[in-house]
């Protein structure tokens, strides 16, 4: 609320005069009391002395503060353009802001330019202070964020520029079998520009190790999804298990990623041997197979899955066993849980190996598997019990779901045999004639629930070849509806290695590394 001060300056308050004159008061006030310490000037002046914009059409003389550099005293001035308007002055609680220069000939001691009235109302001041503070904080945060982003990207660039392999861990809990020859982790890997394959969670690149120029496969899992980290850690753990070195298991060289996860989000490398002929799926799409090659493929694939499913745990029976370190290097059975033709690779010498263990689990026959209803894998190759979520809690049930997928993969191989009479159909994936290209779990469930006998079609002409007929019998025993009625991977391998096939087509022996 403004305060009205009556000066009672009889004879000093002048009437408004024509010719654009303005009346004014200049006063000194040191204390907070209502009275001025001294009236420095009162009267009317021509417009040259006062700024018209601050005086014109002003009925009342409202005091404003005049800025003077410290330690000078504080002065106030008001002006107006009505008769005797400078007799009573208005002292506002909150002063407004105005800038002007006033020249007064009778200012004490000297003629002085008085600059501006620097009053700001508290109602206007607080919001401006708040806005200024908030704006400053936001600006500082943006600058800090930009600096952090540039620093982080620089660290990532440095890390990617000098990627190094870490040798698989050798520890008491998962000791090395002695079969894995040490990999020179100091060698750097340079990625080839082209991508071999791109999946949902990973990309597959070819890498070159310098200076040997050896080719490798680099599987890169990258993204903000925590599942990338889970898949990387699971596959690394499976590869690091003892007794994982086998001719029909993809050779593991090393992994990168855990140490640098904080610097570059989730970017992980799995480095394995290079397979020049790509996946079995790619080969089946592009070409037909001879009967000899069909038999070699089914033998090696069943052999690899049998080795994966084997329970390698041993029992120490003597002091000699205790002293034998290799006898203590064991693992239980491993269920692949995503077995399909795309996860079987073909080397340059046409030998095959099983790959991609991101969803694999190492089973303990003495305990129940947690989350047994987890539908992991590719829907097209999922066993009926997986699709129906009726899989047993017995760990062997996961092995039998792999056997079902094995039957589908063997069917794919047989379907591309060029030695079958009266058959030259193009390649088809299992159930491709009944579902879309990438069926979902509900799609496959709908197909298989129609009848327990629904399986990929076997043409009558296939049975005319005695070797193919023997393989077909094994296939039919692999994809039986009841998992307990299916044969095991060991039985499938034993059948494919039996004299029934060996006597028809001799095959080159495959020896464990």
Q: What is the mean pLDDT of residues 310-315?
A: 76
Burial class (CB in 10 A: 0-12, 13-18, 19+), 430: buried
Domain covering 3-120: architecture: Ribbon (2.10)
Answer for the pair 244, 333: CB distance below 8 angstroms, yes or no: no
pLDDT at 173 (0 to 100): 30
Closest to 213 in 3D by CA, of 190, 182, 181: 190
CA distance 354 to 279: 10
CA dihedral 47, 51, 53, 58 (to 10 degrees): -70
Percent of the chain scored above 90 by pLDDT? 37
Q: What is the mean pLDDT of residues 121-149?
A: 80
- Is the predicted pLDDT of residue 13 greater than 80, yes or no? no
Alpha-carbon Rg for the chain, nearest whole angstrom, is 44
Answer for the pair 267, 220: CB distance below 8 angstroms, yes or no: yes
- Per-residue model confidence as pLDDT tens digits over 426-453: 899 999 989 888 899 999 999 998 888 8
Answer for the pair 405, 381: CB distance below 8 angstroms, yes or no: yes
CA distance 196 to 198: 7
What is the separation of C-alpha 474 from the centre of its chain, rounded to a whole number of angstroms?
Answer: 43
pLDDT at 79 (0 to 100): 84
- Beta-carbon contacts of 133 under 8 Å, excluding residues fewer than 6 positions away, are none
- Is the predicted pLDDT of residue 10 greater than 70, yes or no? no
The verdict on pTM exceeding 0.85 is: no
What is the separation of C-alpha 414 from the centre of its chain, rounded to a whole number of angstroms?
Answer: 40
pLDDT at 241 (0 to 100): 92
pLDDT at 342 (0 to 100): 96
Q: Is the dihedral of CA 217, 326, 241, 361 positive or negative?
A: positive
Answer for the pair 230, 223: CB distance below 8 angstroms, yes or no: no
More confident residue, 68 or 512: 68
- Is the predicted pLDDT of residue 6 greater than 60, yes or no? no
- Per-residue model confidence as pLDDT tens digits over 465-508: 888 999 999 999 999 999 999 999 999 999 998 655 655 554 44
139 phi and psi, to 5 degrees?
-65, -45
CA distance 437 to 429: 9
Answer for the pair 215, 206: CB distance below 8 angstroms, yes or no: yes
- Is the predicted pLDDT of residue 18 greater than 60, yes or no? no
CA distance 419 to 132: 83
Q: How confident is the model at residue 69 (pLDDT cuts 50, 70, 90)?
A: low
Closest to 358 in 3D by CA, of 218, 239, 486: 239
Q: What is the mean pLDDT of residues 118-132?
A: 60
- Beta-carbon contacts of 82 under 8 Å, excluding residues fewer than 6 positions away, are 16, 23, 58, 59
CA distance 336 to 435: 24
- Is the predicted pLDDT of residue 354 greater than 80, yes or no? yes
CA distance 125 to 93: 13
More confident residue, 378 or 64: 378
- Per-residue model confidence as pLDDT tens digits over 144-193: 989 988 877 766 655 554 444 443 333 323 333 333 343 444 457 888 88
pLDDT at 450 (0 to 100): 87
Note the CATH number of domain 277-502: 1.10.510.10
120 phi and psi, to 5 degrees?
-130, 130
Q: What is the mean pLDDT of residues 120-148?
A: 78
Least confident of 252-266, 354-368, 416-430: 252-266
- Beta-carbon contacts of 57 under 8 Å, excluding residues fewer than 6 positions away, are 81
**From edge to edge, which strands make up the β-sheet containing 64-67?**
38-46, 21-28, 75-80, 64-67, 113-118, 97-103
Separate counts of helices (H) and strands (E) for the chain:
12, 18
Closest to 24 in 3D by CA, of 60, 67, 57: 60
Answer for the pair 9, 85: CB distance below 8 angstroms, yes or no: no
pLDDT at 497 (0 to 100): 86
- Is the predicted pLDDT of residue 461 greater than 70, yes or no? yes
Q: Per the CATH hierarchy, to which homologous superfamily does domain 162-274 belong?
A: Phosphorylase Kinase; domain 1 (3.30.200.20)
Across the strands, what pairs with 273? 216
- Beta-carbon contacts of 359 under 8 Å, excluding residues fewer than 6 positions away, are 231, 234, 336, 337, 338, 376, 377
Helix (H, G, I), strand (E, B) or coil at 215: strand
Looking up tokens 């692949």, which residue turns up? 336
CA distance 307 to 490: 8
**From edge to edge, which strands make up the β-sheet containing 266-273?**
189-198, 202-209, 214-223, 266-273, 252-256
More confident residue, 345 or 329: 345
| Conformation bin of residue 288: beta by default, left when phi > 0, alpha when psi is -120 to 50 | beta
Helix residue ranges, H only, 287-330: 291-309, 319-323
Residue spans of the domains in the chain: they are: 3-120, 162-274, 277-502
CA distance 325 to 178: 10
How far is CA 75 from each of CA 33, 200, 445, rounded to the nearest angstrom? 14, 76, 91
Three-state SS string over 450-482 comes to: CCCCCCCCCCHHHHHCHHHHHHHHHHHHHCCCC
């Amino acid at each position: 609320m403004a305060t009205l001060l009556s000066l009672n300056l009889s004879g000093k308050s002048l009437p408004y005069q024509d010719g654009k004159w303005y009346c004014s008061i200049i006063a000194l006030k040191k204390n907070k009391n209502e009275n001025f310490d001294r009236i420095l000037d009162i009267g009317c002046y021509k417009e040259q002395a006062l700024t018209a914009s601050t005086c014109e059409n002003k009925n009342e003389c409202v005091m404003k503060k005049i800025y003077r550099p410290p330690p000078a005293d504080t002065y106030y001035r008001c002006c107006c353009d009505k008769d005797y308007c400078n007799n009573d002055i208005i002292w506002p609680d909150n002063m407004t802001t105005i800038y002007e220069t006033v020249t007064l000939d009778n200012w004490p001691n000297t003629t002085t330019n008085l600059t501006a009235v620097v009053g700001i109302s508290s109602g206007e001041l607080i919001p401006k202070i708040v806005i200024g503070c908030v704006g400053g904080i936001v600006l500082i945060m943006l600058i800090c964020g930009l600096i952090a982003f540039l620093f982080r990207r620089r660290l990532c660039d440095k890390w990617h520029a000098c990627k190094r392999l870490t040798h698989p861990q050798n520890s008491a809990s998962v000791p090395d079998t002695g079969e894995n020859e040490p990999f020179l982790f100091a060698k750097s890997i340079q990625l080839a520009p082209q991508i071999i394959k791109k999946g949902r969670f990973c990309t597959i690149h070819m890498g070159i190790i310098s200076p040997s120029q050896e080719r490798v496969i680099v599987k890169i899992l990258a993204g903000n999804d925590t599942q990338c980290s889970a898949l990387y850690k699971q596959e690394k753990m499976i590869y690091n298990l003892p007794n994982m070195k086998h001719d029909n298991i993809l050779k593991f060289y090393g992994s990168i990623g855990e140490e640098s996860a904080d610097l570059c989000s989730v970017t992980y490398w799995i480095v394995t041997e290079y397979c020049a002929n790509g996946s079995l799926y790619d080969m089946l799409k592009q070409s037909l197979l001879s009967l000899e090659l069909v038999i070699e493929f089914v033998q090696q694939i069943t052999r690899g899955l049998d080795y994966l499913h084997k329970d390698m745990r041993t029992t120490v029976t003597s002091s000699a066993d205790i002293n034998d370190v290799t006898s203590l290097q064991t693992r239980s059975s491993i269920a692949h849980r995503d077995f399909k033709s795309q996860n079987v690779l073909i080397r340059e010498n046409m030998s095959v190996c099983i790959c991609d263990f991101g969803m694999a689990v190492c089973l303990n026959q003495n305990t129940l598997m947690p989350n047994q209803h987890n539908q992991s894998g590719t829907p097209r190759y999922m066993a009926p019990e997986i699709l129906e979520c009726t899989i047993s809690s017995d760990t062997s049930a996961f092995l039998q779901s792999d056997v079902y997928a094995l039957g589908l993969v063997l069917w794919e191989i047989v379907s591309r045999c060029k030695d079958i009479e009266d058959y030259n159909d193009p390649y088809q994936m299992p159930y491709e004639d009944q579902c879309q290209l990438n069926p979902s779990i509900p799609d496959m469930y709908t197909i298989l629930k129609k009848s327990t006998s629904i399986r990929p079609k076997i043409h009558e002409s296939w049975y005319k070849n005695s070797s193919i007929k023997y393989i077909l019998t094994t296939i039919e025993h692999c994809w039986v509806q009841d998992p307990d009625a299916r044969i095991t991977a060991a039985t499938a391998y034993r059948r494919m290695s039996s004299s029934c096939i060996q006597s028809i087509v001799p095959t080159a022996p495959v020896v464990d590394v």
